[in-house]
Amino acid sequence: MREVRIVFILALILVLSPIGRGATGAEARSPEAAQARRIVSIGGAVTEILFALGLGDRVIAVDQTSTYPAAARARPNVGYARTLTPEGVLSVGPDLILAIEGSGPPEALAVLKSAAVPVVMIPDGHDAAGVIRKVEAVAAAAGADEAGARLASALKADFAQVADEVASLHSRPRAAFVLSASGGTAVVGGADTSADAMLRLAGAQNALSAIKGYKPAVDEAAFAADPEAVVVMSGAGQALTAPMIFALPAFKGTHAARENRFIALPGSYLLGFGPRTPQAIRDLALALRPGSTLAPLPPRPWADEAMP
Protein backbone atom coordinates (compact mmCIF):
# COMPACT_ATOMS: atom_id res chain seq x y z
CA MET A 1 0.00 0.00 0.00
CA ARG A 2 2.87 2.37 0.88
CA GLU A 3 4.44 1.79 -2.57
CA VAL A 4 1.12 2.51 -4.30
CA ARG A 5 0.78 5.76 -2.36
CA ILE A 6 4.31 6.86 -3.34
CA VAL A 7 3.66 6.11 -7.00
CA PHE A 8 0.39 8.05 -6.86
CA ILE A 9 2.07 11.08 -5.27
CA LEU A 10 4.85 11.07 -7.86
CA ALA A 11 2.30 10.86 -10.67
CA LEU A 12 0.31 13.73 -9.17
CA ILE A 13 3.45 15.89 -8.95
CA LEU A 14 4.19 15.18 -12.60
CA VAL A 15 0.67 16.09 -13.71
CA LEU A 16 0.57 19.32 -11.71
CA SER A 17 4.06 20.52 -12.60
CA PRO A 18 5.07 22.56 -15.67
CA ILE A 19 7.15 19.58 -16.78
CA GLY A 20 4.02 17.48 -17.26
CA ARG A 21 2.17 20.10 -19.30
CA GLY A 22 2.48 23.58 -20.74
CA ALA A 23 3.12 25.99 -17.88
CA THR A 24 1.20 29.22 -17.52
CA GLY A 25 2.04 32.47 -15.75
CA ALA A 26 3.80 32.10 -12.42
CA GLU A 27 4.03 28.32 -12.92
CA ALA A 28 6.93 29.02 -15.29
CA ARG A 29 9.33 30.21 -12.57
CA SER A 30 11.76 27.36 -13.24
CA PRO A 31 15.57 27.67 -13.31
CA GLU A 32 15.55 26.48 -16.91
CA ALA A 33 13.13 29.22 -18.01
CA ALA A 34 14.96 31.94 -16.08
CA GLN A 35 18.22 31.00 -17.79
CA ALA A 36 16.67 30.79 -21.26
CA ARG A 37 18.72 32.49 -23.94
CA ARG A 38 16.98 31.18 -27.06
CA ILE A 39 13.32 32.17 -26.85
CA VAL A 40 10.73 31.55 -29.55
CA SER A 41 8.00 34.16 -29.13
CA ILE A 42 4.55 33.38 -30.49
CA GLY A 43 2.11 36.29 -30.41
CA GLY A 44 2.69 39.92 -31.26
CA ALA A 45 2.01 41.12 -27.71
CA VAL A 46 4.38 38.52 -26.26
CA THR A 47 7.14 39.66 -28.59
CA GLU A 48 6.58 43.35 -27.85
CA ILE A 49 6.69 42.64 -24.12
CA LEU A 50 9.96 40.72 -24.41
CA PHE A 51 11.56 43.65 -26.23
CA ALA A 52 10.05 46.15 -23.78
CA LEU A 53 11.63 44.13 -20.95
CA GLY A 54 15.02 44.49 -22.63
CA LEU A 55 15.12 40.81 -23.61
CA GLY A 56 15.06 41.25 -27.38
CA ASP A 57 18.54 39.76 -27.71
CA ARG A 58 17.17 36.46 -26.38
CA VAL A 59 14.41 36.24 -29.00
CA ILE A 60 15.62 33.95 -31.79
CA ALA A 61 12.36 33.51 -33.74
CA VAL A 62 8.83 34.91 -33.85
CA ASP A 63 5.45 34.26 -35.45
CA GLN A 64 3.77 36.21 -38.26
CA THR A 65 1.87 38.51 -35.90
CA SER A 66 5.13 39.79 -34.40
CA THR A 67 5.59 42.87 -36.57
CA TYR A 68 6.90 45.30 -33.95
CA PRO A 69 9.56 46.42 -33.19
CA ALA A 70 11.59 46.33 -36.40
CA ALA A 71 14.14 44.03 -34.77
CA ALA A 72 11.41 41.41 -34.37
CA ARG A 73 10.70 41.43 -38.10
CA ALA A 74 14.34 40.57 -38.70
CA ARG A 75 14.04 37.32 -36.73
CA PRO A 76 13.26 33.96 -38.38
CA ASN A 77 9.52 33.39 -38.69
CA VAL A 78 7.92 30.15 -37.50
CA GLY A 79 4.52 30.78 -39.09
CA TYR A 80 1.11 31.94 -37.94
CA ALA A 81 0.29 31.55 -34.25
CA ARG A 82 -2.83 29.45 -34.87
CA THR A 83 -1.30 27.15 -37.50
CA LEU A 84 2.06 26.26 -36.01
CA THR A 85 4.07 23.19 -36.93
CA PRO A 86 6.23 21.58 -34.23
CA GLU A 87 9.03 21.02 -36.73
CA GLY A 88 9.15 24.69 -37.65
CA VAL A 89 9.26 25.86 -34.04
CA LEU A 90 11.80 23.30 -32.85
CA SER A 91 14.05 23.67 -35.91
CA VAL A 92 15.49 26.96 -34.58
CA GLY A 93 16.71 25.27 -31.39
CA PRO A 94 14.80 27.12 -28.64
CA ASP A 95 15.35 26.62 -24.93
CA LEU A 96 12.02 28.34 -24.11
CA ILE A 97 8.78 28.78 -26.05
CA LEU A 98 6.39 31.56 -25.04
CA ALA A 99 3.01 31.37 -26.79
CA ILE A 100 -0.05 33.54 -26.44
CA GLU A 101 -3.22 31.79 -25.32
CA GLY A 102 -5.12 30.62 -28.39
CA SER A 103 -2.01 29.52 -30.28
CA GLY A 104 -2.30 26.17 -31.97
CA PRO A 105 -3.47 23.89 -33.36
CA PRO A 106 -3.86 21.77 -30.20
CA GLU A 107 -2.02 18.82 -31.77
CA ALA A 108 1.02 21.00 -32.48
CA LEU A 109 1.03 22.36 -28.93
CA ALA A 110 0.78 18.83 -27.56
CA VAL A 111 3.90 17.83 -29.48
CA LEU A 112 5.76 20.96 -28.36
CA LYS A 113 4.79 20.39 -24.74
CA SER A 114 6.09 16.82 -24.93
CA ALA A 115 9.49 17.99 -26.20
CA ALA A 116 12.38 18.73 -23.87
CA VAL A 117 11.77 22.49 -24.14
CA PRO A 118 9.67 24.47 -21.64
CA VAL A 119 6.44 25.80 -23.20
CA VAL A 120 4.72 28.66 -21.38
CA MET A 121 1.23 29.76 -22.40
CA ILE A 122 0.71 33.49 -21.84
CA PRO A 123 -2.85 34.47 -20.84
CA ASP A 124 -4.63 36.76 -23.28
CA GLY A 125 -6.88 39.63 -22.30
CA HIS A 126 -8.44 42.70 -23.86
CA ASP A 127 -8.30 45.31 -21.11
CA ALA A 128 -5.73 47.03 -18.93
CA ALA A 129 -5.68 44.19 -16.41
CA GLY A 130 -5.21 41.68 -19.21
CA VAL A 131 -2.19 43.53 -20.58
CA ILE A 132 -0.63 43.70 -17.11
CA ARG A 133 -1.18 39.95 -16.67
CA LYS A 134 0.64 39.32 -19.94
CA VAL A 135 3.58 41.43 -18.80
CA GLU A 136 3.77 39.62 -15.47
CA ALA A 137 3.53 36.20 -17.11
CA VAL A 138 6.22 36.92 -19.71
CA ALA A 139 8.52 38.45 -17.11
CA ALA A 140 8.08 35.48 -14.77
CA ALA A 141 8.72 32.99 -17.55
CA ALA A 142 11.90 34.76 -18.65
CA GLY A 143 13.22 35.38 -15.15
CA ALA A 144 12.85 39.16 -15.43
CA ASP A 145 10.60 39.95 -12.47
CA GLU A 146 12.19 43.32 -11.65
CA ALA A 147 11.96 44.56 -15.23
CA GLY A 148 8.42 43.21 -15.36
CA ALA A 149 7.43 45.15 -12.26
CA ARG A 150 8.82 48.37 -13.74
CA LEU A 151 7.02 47.83 -17.04
CA ALA A 152 3.76 46.93 -15.30
CA SER A 153 3.97 50.05 -13.13
CA ALA A 154 4.51 52.31 -16.15
CA LEU A 155 1.63 50.69 -18.03
CA LYS A 156 -0.74 51.04 -15.09
CA ALA A 157 0.04 54.76 -15.00
CA ASP A 158 -0.47 55.10 -18.77
CA PHE A 159 -3.77 53.20 -18.73
CA ALA A 160 -5.02 55.34 -15.85
CA GLN A 161 -4.07 58.56 -17.61
CA VAL A 162 -5.64 57.65 -20.93
CA ALA A 163 -8.83 56.42 -19.21
CA ASP A 164 -9.19 59.77 -17.45
CA GLU A 165 -8.50 61.67 -20.66
CA VAL A 166 -11.01 59.66 -22.68
CA ALA A 167 -13.66 60.10 -19.99
CA SER A 168 -13.23 63.86 -20.25
CA LEU A 169 -14.23 63.81 -23.94
CA HIS A 170 -17.90 63.12 -23.06
CA SER A 171 -19.02 62.20 -26.61
CA ARG A 172 -19.44 58.51 -27.41
CA PRO A 173 -19.44 58.18 -31.20
CA ARG A 174 -20.92 55.10 -32.86
CA ALA A 175 -18.22 53.16 -34.68
CA ALA A 176 -18.02 49.92 -36.65
CA PHE A 177 -14.96 47.73 -36.98
CA VAL A 178 -14.52 45.95 -40.31
CA LEU A 179 -12.17 42.97 -40.33
CA SER A 180 -12.45 42.12 -44.02
CA ALA A 181 -14.68 42.53 -47.05
CA SER A 182 -15.33 40.20 -49.95
CA GLY A 183 -18.13 39.64 -52.43
CA GLY A 184 -19.94 42.75 -51.31
CA THR A 185 -20.12 41.64 -47.68
CA ALA A 186 -18.16 42.97 -44.71
CA VAL A 187 -17.01 40.83 -41.79
CA VAL A 188 -17.38 43.02 -38.72
CA GLY A 189 -16.44 42.92 -35.06
CA GLY A 190 -19.38 42.50 -32.73
CA ALA A 191 -19.57 42.01 -28.98
CA ASP A 192 -16.95 39.90 -27.19
CA THR A 193 -14.16 40.75 -29.61
CA SER A 194 -10.86 42.56 -29.25
CA ALA A 195 -12.24 45.20 -31.63
CA ASP A 196 -15.26 45.77 -29.40
CA ALA A 197 -12.97 46.09 -26.38
CA MET A 198 -10.78 48.67 -28.11
CA LEU A 199 -13.75 50.74 -29.26
CA ARG A 200 -15.07 50.84 -25.71
CA LEU A 201 -11.66 51.74 -24.26
CA ALA A 202 -11.55 54.65 -26.72
CA GLY A 203 -14.92 55.83 -25.42
CA ALA A 204 -16.92 54.78 -28.48
CA GLN A 205 -20.06 52.72 -28.89
CA ASN A 206 -19.80 49.60 -31.02
CA ALA A 207 -22.56 50.26 -33.54
CA LEU A 208 -22.69 46.54 -34.34
CA SER A 209 -22.68 45.14 -30.81
CA ALA A 210 -25.88 43.22 -31.54
CA ILE A 211 -23.60 40.79 -33.38
CA LYS A 212 -21.44 38.48 -31.27
CA GLY A 213 -17.92 37.72 -32.46
CA TYR A 214 -16.54 38.40 -35.92
CA LYS A 215 -19.33 37.71 -38.41
CA PRO A 216 -20.63 38.89 -41.79
CA ALA A 217 -22.71 42.01 -41.38
CA VAL A 218 -26.40 41.99 -42.26
CA ASP A 219 -26.62 44.93 -44.64
CA GLU A 220 -29.93 46.27 -43.37
CA ALA A 221 -28.89 46.02 -39.71
CA ALA A 222 -25.52 47.69 -40.31
CA PHE A 223 -27.14 50.49 -42.29
CA ALA A 224 -29.76 51.00 -39.59
CA ALA A 225 -27.02 51.19 -36.94
CA ASP A 226 -25.67 54.19 -38.88
CA PRO A 227 -22.07 54.21 -37.61
CA GLU A 228 -20.35 57.58 -37.48
CA ALA A 229 -16.96 56.03 -38.25
CA VAL A 230 -15.54 52.83 -39.68
CA VAL A 231 -12.33 51.42 -38.20
CA VAL A 232 -10.08 48.94 -40.01
CA MET A 233 -6.58 47.50 -39.71
CA SER A 234 -3.78 48.76 -41.92
CA GLY A 235 -0.47 47.12 -42.69
CA ALA A 236 0.80 44.12 -44.61
CA GLY A 237 -2.00 42.03 -46.07
CA GLN A 238 -4.66 44.65 -45.35
CA ALA A 239 -6.20 46.14 -48.47
CA LEU A 240 -9.36 47.82 -47.17
CA THR A 241 -9.91 51.38 -48.37
CA ALA A 242 -12.57 54.01 -47.75
CA PRO A 243 -14.00 53.80 -51.30
CA MET A 244 -14.24 50.01 -50.99
CA ILE A 245 -15.98 50.05 -47.61
CA PHE A 246 -18.34 52.92 -48.32
CA ALA A 247 -19.48 51.28 -51.56
CA LEU A 248 -20.79 48.27 -49.62
CA PRO A 249 -24.56 48.16 -49.03
CA ALA A 250 -23.93 47.89 -45.29
CA PHE A 251 -22.23 51.27 -45.12
CA LYS A 252 -23.22 53.20 -48.22
CA GLY A 253 -25.18 56.27 -47.15
CA THR A 254 -24.31 55.96 -43.46
CA HIS A 255 -23.06 58.89 -41.40
CA ALA A 256 -19.53 57.49 -41.72
CA ALA A 257 -19.78 57.39 -45.51
CA ARG A 258 -21.19 60.90 -45.76
CA GLU A 259 -18.40 62.28 -43.57
CA ASN A 260 -15.78 59.92 -45.06
CA ARG A 261 -14.82 58.97 -41.50
CA PHE A 262 -12.50 56.04 -42.18
CA ILE A 263 -9.84 55.16 -39.60
CA ALA A 264 -7.01 52.75 -40.38
CA LEU A 265 -4.44 51.75 -37.76
CA PRO A 266 -1.85 48.93 -37.83
CA GLY A 267 -3.43 45.69 -36.70
CA SER A 268 -0.84 44.75 -34.08
CA TYR A 269 -1.09 48.26 -32.64
CA LEU A 270 -4.87 48.48 -32.66
CA LEU A 271 -5.78 44.97 -31.50
CA GLY A 272 -2.54 43.51 -30.18
CA PHE A 273 -3.20 44.47 -26.54
CA GLY A 274 0.50 44.68 -25.77
CA PRO A 275 2.56 47.43 -24.12
CA ARG A 276 1.57 50.03 -26.74
CA THR A 277 -2.14 49.72 -26.01
CA PRO A 278 -2.44 53.00 -24.03
CA GLN A 279 -1.01 54.86 -27.04
CA ALA A 280 -3.39 53.00 -29.38
CA ILE A 281 -6.39 53.93 -27.21
CA ARG A 282 -5.37 57.58 -27.30
CA ASP A 283 -4.83 57.59 -31.08
CA LEU A 284 -8.17 55.89 -31.74
CA ALA A 285 -10.02 58.21 -29.36
CA LEU A 286 -8.66 61.26 -31.19
CA ALA A 287 -9.33 59.81 -34.64
CA LEU A 288 -12.94 59.18 -33.67
CA ARG A 289 -13.33 62.81 -32.62
CA PRO A 290 -11.64 65.14 -35.12
CA GLY A 291 -10.62 68.40 -33.52
CA SER A 292 -10.41 66.99 -30.00
CA THR A 293 -7.21 67.13 -27.96
CA LEU A 294 -5.74 64.88 -25.30
CA ALA A 295 -2.64 65.31 -23.19
CA PRO A 296 0.28 63.27 -24.52
CA LEU A 297 1.36 60.15 -22.69
CA PRO A 298 4.89 60.04 -21.26
CA PRO A 299 7.56 58.99 -23.79
CA ARG A 300 8.08 55.23 -23.63
CA PRO A 301 11.00 53.52 -25.40
CA TRP A 302 8.83 50.51 -26.27
CA ALA A 303 6.28 52.70 -28.07
CA ASP A 304 8.42 55.32 -29.80
CA GLU A 305 9.57 53.39 -32.87
CA ALA A 306 7.89 54.17 -36.20
CA MET A 307 5.26 51.59 -37.10
CA PRO A 308 5.46 49.52 -40.31
Q: What is the pLDDT of residues 134-145, one digit of tens each?
A: 999 999 999 999
Domain-located, residue 27? yes
Decide if 165 is inside a domain: no
- Average confidence (pLDDT) over 79-105: 96
Q: What is the pLDDT of residue 257?
A: 98
Whether residue 189 sits in one domain with residue 137: no
Q: Please tell me the predicted confidence (pLDDT) of residue 4.
A: 38
3-state secondary structure the chain: CHHHHHHHHHHHHHHHCCCCCCEEHHHHCCHHHHCCCCEEEECHHHHHHHHHCCCHHHEEEECCCCCCCHHHHCCCECCCCCCCCHHHHHCCCCCEEEEECCCCCHHHHHHHHHCCCCEEEECCCCCHHHHHHHHHHHHHHHCCHHHHHHHHHHHHHHHHHHHHHHHCCCCCCEEEEEEEEECCEEEEECECCHHHHHHHHCCCEECCCCCECEEECCHHHHHHHCCCEEEEEECCCCCCCHHHHHCCCCCCCCHHHHHCCEEEEEHHHHHCCCCCHHHHHHHHHHHHCCCCCCCCCCCCCCCCCCCC
Q: Angle 293-295-297 (CA atoms, 0-180°, nearest 5)? A: 130
- 111 domain-assigned: yes
Tell me what pLDDT residue 10 has.
35
Q: Is position 169 within any domain?
A: no
Domain residues for the domain of 204 are 174-288
277 domain residue, yes or no: yes
What pLDDT sits at residue 35?
75
Assess whether 33 and 136 both reside in one domain. Answer: yes
Q: Is 26's pLDDT higher than 70?
A: no
Q: Is there a single domain that holds both residue 271 and residue 200?
A: yes
pLDDT at residue 34 greater than cutoff 90: no
Res 24: pLDDT: 53
Whole-number percent of the chain with pLDDT over 70 = 88
pLDDT score for 184: 94
Task: Tell me, yes or no, whether 298 lies in a domain.
Answer: no
Res. 31 pLDDT band, cuts 50 70 90 = low
Inter-residue contact 84 to 104 (CB < 8 Å)? yes
The overall pTM is greater than 0.95: no
- The mean pLDDT of the chain is 90
Exposed / middle / buried, residue 177 (Cβ in 10 Å: 0-12, 13-18, 19+): buried
| pLDDT of res. 30 | 52
**Residue 279 in domain:** yes
Is the model more confident about 260 or about 9? Answer: 260
Q: Give yes or no: residues 141 and 184 share one domain.
A: no
Residue 33's pLDDT band, with cuts at 50, 70 and 90, is low
Higher pLDDT, 1 or 163: 163
Least Cα distance to 51 among 30, 84, 73 occurs for: 73
Q: What is the pLDDT of residue 235?
A: 80
Average pLDDT (181-195) is 97
* Whether residues 25 and 124 fall in one domain: yes
CATH of the domain at 17: 3.40.50.1980
Structurally, the chain folds into a number of domains equal to 2
Q: Is there a domain that residue 248 lies in? A: yes
